[in-house]
Structure 1
Amino acid sequence: MPAAPPTPDVLVHLPASGAPLPPALLARLAARQHALPLLRRLRFAARVAGATTEHARVLYCGGGFSAATEEQEGGEARAGEDGAPFAAAYLDVSRAPETQLWLYASLEDAAPAETEEAAECAWRVLREVRRQHGAYAAGADGPAAVLAGSLGEALRAALATRGAVFARVGLYDKWLLRARGLPPPAAAPPGLRWGPVRRRDVPLMLARTSIPRQERTVVLLPSLALFREDDGEPVAWALLGPDSSLSNLHVEPAYRGQGLAKAVAAKLLRDRLRDYGAAADDGYDEYDDYCWADVAPDNPGSQAVCRSLGGRIGWSVSW
């Protein structure tokens, strides 16, 4: 069966080519708060060795970008109209069972008048996702679905009205934090020491979470743990995800109730959030100070940690 033709008006960028993303696209994302997860996923892929694969794609549609100036080998798209509706995504179908897709549409930050056009852009991007997934999985057994992460509820609803099928939806509140408002760095409690998560700690970390992470990814992510000084075993830890979200925050039962979760989260965000910040070639990012955690509505423990860090619910997302 011949491959499906490319989706009209959707531009495809190959991160593995080494060519930079169009500065105009990065600037559009940096100016929109709901686009931060996608923007930081793009930065993680561009800056961390091993964080992207030959199967990764950046897809975007609308915004006045010109397909005539974006070739698959690289290049820059024409900027177009700064306020024009658009949608963009980072896709890597090879990362299953981890999150494969981050998708944003400007309707999430725009006035209602922009909703229909931005939703159509997102729908076209999603059609290209399906085409890319089909090309990758051709002749292979496995699910036809793609795992999308941090998908805004407004965008999910708009896609559902166009026929998108979401086989499984996990709803989360996106708790927004400000780095400048986090507690100052704390010394490790007596008998414990700070350090990054080691490769030998990864099996224990994965055993303590339901998040479908692979060791290949965990070893690339910014991490922090508290270790016992006597035997070097970890008692509390956290990661920053590929999109910079506070993730995998855990304290072993014998050490709970001592404020360790708050201390680990605050120090990790203060020390490593800058890894996802704007570089000189990205231009100014007014939201560099923001960080977040995606927390299930029925997880009071994590909600309490976010409150203790000065967090508030920004919007709802699904995975």
Structure 2
Amino acid sequence: MPPQITVQDLPIPLPPDQSTHILALLSQHLPYSHHVLRRLQFAQHSPAGRTPTAHLLWVTTTTTTTTTTNSSAGGDDFAAAYVDLSRHPETQVFPYATTEDGHPGTLPAPAPAADLLLAVMRRVRGIARAEGAGLGVMFGSLHGGLREAVLLRGGSGGGGGGLRTSYTNVHEKWLLPLGDLPWPGAEDAVREWMAREGMGWGVVEGAEDCRLVISRTRIPKSEATLMTLPSMSVRLKDGTMVAWAFMGVDGTLSTLHVEEPYRGKGLAKALAVRIMRQHHPAFSDDGWCAADVHVDNKQSQGVCKSMGGYIGWRNSWTRFELDTLSDAV
């Protein structure tokens, strides 16, 4: 008898008993569950990190029906997806499945992985129709193997049913153990240079700052979301912002940028270490931080490597057109 797939649709914030259990269960699958765990932690701990339309989808695959409160980390696979369709055009779904664990993300994951994600997608499609949202939905930090497994199923006439995508942006997940960060050495290396240039530390604030940040990235960002995130900036004496970074909604080092004339001095590394040391503990004390770096972004890859980071797996931001998803199970 094939495993039974059960999808539970849970409101955000989670009740305390469910929250404790689910956060503990996801923590047992670090670092692979990092993005969903951090997204959920941000929503649970900060009202600014959630909206009334947010959901947590909890998907179990078992021979008998289980509930969230009695599922365990051992044995059966499960998936979790943080869903907030109101975040369009930013990331609307952060999915994770236990079938990702240990997989490099460069080849299709095993078939059960596709079943879990397809169950998530069908429920997301239902939510979109109920909320009157568009059916082109952005899945973020999507494990490469999971993405390929679903598209392979769709391309071969399986459960994906000819599923189509309209956008893909491929990244690598760089893992940055907090205890290995070069602190305070990274900041010491730029202190004298920053003093000579009249630079100082600050935060990203206001519409003008946000417009500058948005103009420097290819990833969809909104001013409203940026203003809810922990940030750090470097400014000249006249207030001009020349570098910045954020902790993303999924607890990753995000939108790290240094303006061209100020590169090559170690400022990106110092900025990255500083914001992670100061703001990551607000998400968790488990010691795992991460960054999603575009496969062609050699400069950011170099910064991550200089901080003791290493590549965990390949992932992507992919917009799936869920009106092309079949109803087959």
In the superposition, the TM-score normalised over structure 1's length comes to 0.83
- Aligned match of 1:282: none
- Does residue 166 of structure 2 align to residue 154 of structure 1? no
Q: 1:29/1:11 Cα in 2 relative to 1: closer, same or farther (>3 Å)?
A: same
SS in 2 for 1:146: strand
Q: Is the 8 A contact 2:113 2:149 kept in 1?
A: no
State how far apart, in whole Å, the 1-side matches of 2:183 and 2:23 are.
31
Q: Is the 8 A contact 1:35 1:104 kept in 2?
A: yes
Q: Residue in 2 aligned with 1:23?
A: 20
Q: Which runs of 5+ in 2 are unaligned?
A: 104-108, 154-158, 318-329
- SS, match of residue 318 in structure 1: strand
Matched, 1:41 2:48: no
Give the 5 Å matches for 1:79-158.
79-80=71-72, 82-109=74-101, 115-137=110-132, 143-158=134-149
Against the structure 1 CA distance between its residues 65 and 250, is the aligned structure 2 distance closer, same or farther, given a 3 Å change threshold?
Answer: farther
Mapped contact 1:64–1:81 kept (Cα < 8 A): no
Contact 1:65 1:77 in 2 (8 A): no
Secondary structure of 2:211's counterpart equals helix
AA aligned opposite 1:131:
G
Q: Distance in 1 between matches of 2:316 and 2:283?
A: 22
Q: Distance in 2 between matches of 1:212 and 1:110?
A: 29
Q: Which of 257, 273, 282 does residue 266 from structure 1 map onto?
A: 273
**How much does 1:245 deviate?**
1.4
Q: Is the alpha carbon distance of 1:134 and 1:36 closer, same or farther for their aligned partners in structure 2, counting shifts above 3 Å?
A: same
**1:22–1:77 Cα contact (<8 Å) kept:** no
- Distance in 1, matches of 2:289 and 2:260, equals 27
* Aligned equivalents of 2:60, 2:223: Cα separation in 1: 36
Deviations 1:153-189 (A, max 9, x none): 1111222213143322211111111111111132542
Deviation at 1:307, TM superposition (A): 1.4
1:5-24 correspondence to structure 2 within 5 Å = 9-16=6-13, 21-24=18-21
Rounded Cα–Cα distance in structure 1 between residues aligned with 2:294 and 2:269: 18
Give the whole-Å Cα distance in 1 for the aligned partners of 2:263 and 2:170: 26
C-alpha distance in 1 between matches for 2:40 and 2:264:
36
Q: Which amino acid aligns with 1:133?
A: A
Distance 1:97 1:193 in 2: 33
Q: Quote the sequence identity (%).
A: 39
* Structure 2 partner of 1:171: 170
Q: Which amino acid aligns with 1:154?
A: G
Deviation of residue 136 (structure 1)?
Answer: 1.2
Q: Please state how far the C-alpha of 1:295 moved relative to its aligned partner.
A: 1.3
Structure 1: how far apart are the matches of 2:73 and 2:253? 34
Q: Which residue of 2 aligns with 1:296?
A: 294
TM-score, length of structure 2 as denominator length:
0.81
- Name stretches of at least 5 consecutive residues in structure 1 with no aligned partner: 1-7, 70-75, 279-287
Contact 2:6 2:61 in 1 (8 A): no
Residue by residue over 1:58-90, the C-alpha shift from the partner in whole angstroms, topping out at 9 and shown as x without a partner, is 001116699786xxxxxx633357331111100
Q: CA deviation at 1:18?
A: 5.8
| Larger strand fraction of residues | 2
Q: CA deviation at 1:300?
A: 1.2
Q: Which structure exhibits the higher relative contact order, with contacts defined as CA atoms closer than 8 Å and separated by 6 or more residues? A: 2
CA RMSD of aligned residues (A): 2.5
What is the CA deviation profile of residues 116-168 of structure 1, one whole-angstrom value per residue up to 9, with x for unaligned ones? 44542332122101111111126xxxx42110100001111222213143322
